[in-house]
């Protein structure tokens, strides 16, 4: 795909696109499964039970480490084979609560690539999750000044992208959503008439994975964030 010659509007995801995120949740889940130590369920079966609880609770609790912590507790209380005692519940809660204190670690080539793109195009950071938690990540990333706007949304759906286009009076032909999640970043943006850049991440949350929809030339798939400099 040829490099655009006109100024583009780039919507860029935060978690697992600009900085590491889900790897901290994955570590907590592995430790949770170890602690649960279920005698009959495999690790994958325990994980599937947690996935189902998370899927049911997203409409109620939303995203973020606080919601995840509640999901861990609910899963533990449902699956534990021993008496529920405060000490064990507190241990489970701490597995989730410590995630919010993890450092914001930028993905490879992000800082220099964002600097490069900000000099050529208009950038907007669009991330979903708990508003305060996401705002802290944005501030701690050191990237906020490169973006003309930032938005923390409760969900990334077709209507979300259409609303951004309408509010900011964007030309969909020159607007791109860049991210790692097919379910939240890529498919709904394409369905809203935008272009998209899919940058897969090996630790993308399981509930964010789905097949990337055909896009009639409106989709780029890159191996890393730094490759954006060759296309924009």
Report the CATH number that the domain containing residue 133 is assigned in CATH: 3.40.50.1000
Residue 93 belongs to a domain with what CATH number? 1.10.150.240
For the chain, where are the E strands, in sequence order?
9-12, 122-128, 149-153, 175-179, 195-198, 219-221
Burial class (CB in 10 A: 0-12, 13-18, 19+), 172: middle
Stated pTM of the model: 0.93
Both 145 and 49 in one domain: the answer is: no
Asked if residue 3 is part of any domain, the answer here is: no
HSE-CB at 78 with a 13 A cutoff on CA atoms is 13
Asked if residue 1 is part of any domain, the answer here is: no
Our measurement of the distance from residue 199's CA atom to the centroid of its chain's CA atoms, rounded to an integer in Å, reads: 12
Domain end residue (candidates: 63, 84, 101): 101
The tokens for 101 are: 């204190």
pLDDT of residue 4: 63
Domain limits for position 207: 9-19+104-230
pLDDT of residue 40: 97
CA quadruple 5, 11, 17, 23: dihedral, nearest 10: -170
Both 214 and 109 in one domain: the answer is: yes
Q: How far apart are CA 15 and CA 128, in angstroms?
A: 8
pLDDT tens digits, the chain, 232 residues: what are they? 556 668 999 999 999 999 999 999 999 999 999 999 999 999 999 999 999 999 999 988 889 999 999 999 999 999 999 999 999 999 999 999 999 999 999 999 999 999 999 999 999 999 999 999 999 999 999 999 999 999 999 999 999 999 999 999 999 999 999 999 999 999 999 999 999 999 999 888 877 888 898 778 899 999 999 999 999 9
pLDDT of residue 1: 59
Q: Which residue has the tokens 């008496």?
A: 83
Q: Which residue has the tokens 């208009």?
A: 122
Number of domains in the chain: 2
| 29, 78, 170, 215, 221 from 163: Cα distances, Å | 35, 40, 10, 21, 25
User: Which residues, other chains included, contact 55 with Cβ-Cβ below 8 Å and sequence gap of 6+?
Assistant: 207
Asked if residue 2 is part of any domain, the answer here is: no
Per-residue buried b or exposed e for 134-166, using 16+ beta carbons within 10 Å of the residue's own CB = beebbeebebeebbeebbbbeebbeebbbebbe
Both 92 and 112 in one domain: the answer is: no
Q: How far apart are CA 170 and CA 59, in angstroms?
A: 29
Asked if residue 127 is part of any domain, the answer here is: yes
pLDDT of residue 180: 96
Both 53 and 119 in one domain: the answer is: no
């Amino acid at each position: 795909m040829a490099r655009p010659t006109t100024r583009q509007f780039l919507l860029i995801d935060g978690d697992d696109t600009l900085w590491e995120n889900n790897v901290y949740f994955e570590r907590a889940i592995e430790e949770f499964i170890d602690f649960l130590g279920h005698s009959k369920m495999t690790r994958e079966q325990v994980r599937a039970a947690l996935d189902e609880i998370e899927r049911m609770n997203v409409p109620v609790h939303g995203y973020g480490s606080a919601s995840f912590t509640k999901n861990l507790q609910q899963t533990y209380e449902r699956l534990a084979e021993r008496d529920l005692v405060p000490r064990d519940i507190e241990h489970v809660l701490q597995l989730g609560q410590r995630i919010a204190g993890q450092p914001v670690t930028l993905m490879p080539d992000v800082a220099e690539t964002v600097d490069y793109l900000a000099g050529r195009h208009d950038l907007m950071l669009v991330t979903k999750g708990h508003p305060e938690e996401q705002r802290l990540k944005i501030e701690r990333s050191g990237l906020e000044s490169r973006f003309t706007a930032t938005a923390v949304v409760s969900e990334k759906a077709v209507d979300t992208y259409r609303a951004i286009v309408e509010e900011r009076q964007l030309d969909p032909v020159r607007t791109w959503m860049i991210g790692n999640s097919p379910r939240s970043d890529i498919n709904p943006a394409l369905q809203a008439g935008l272009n998209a850049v899919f940058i897969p991440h090996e630790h993308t949350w399981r509930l964010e994975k789905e097949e990337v929809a055909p896009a009639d030339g409106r989709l780029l798939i890159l191996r890393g964030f730094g490759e954006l400099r060759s296309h924009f």
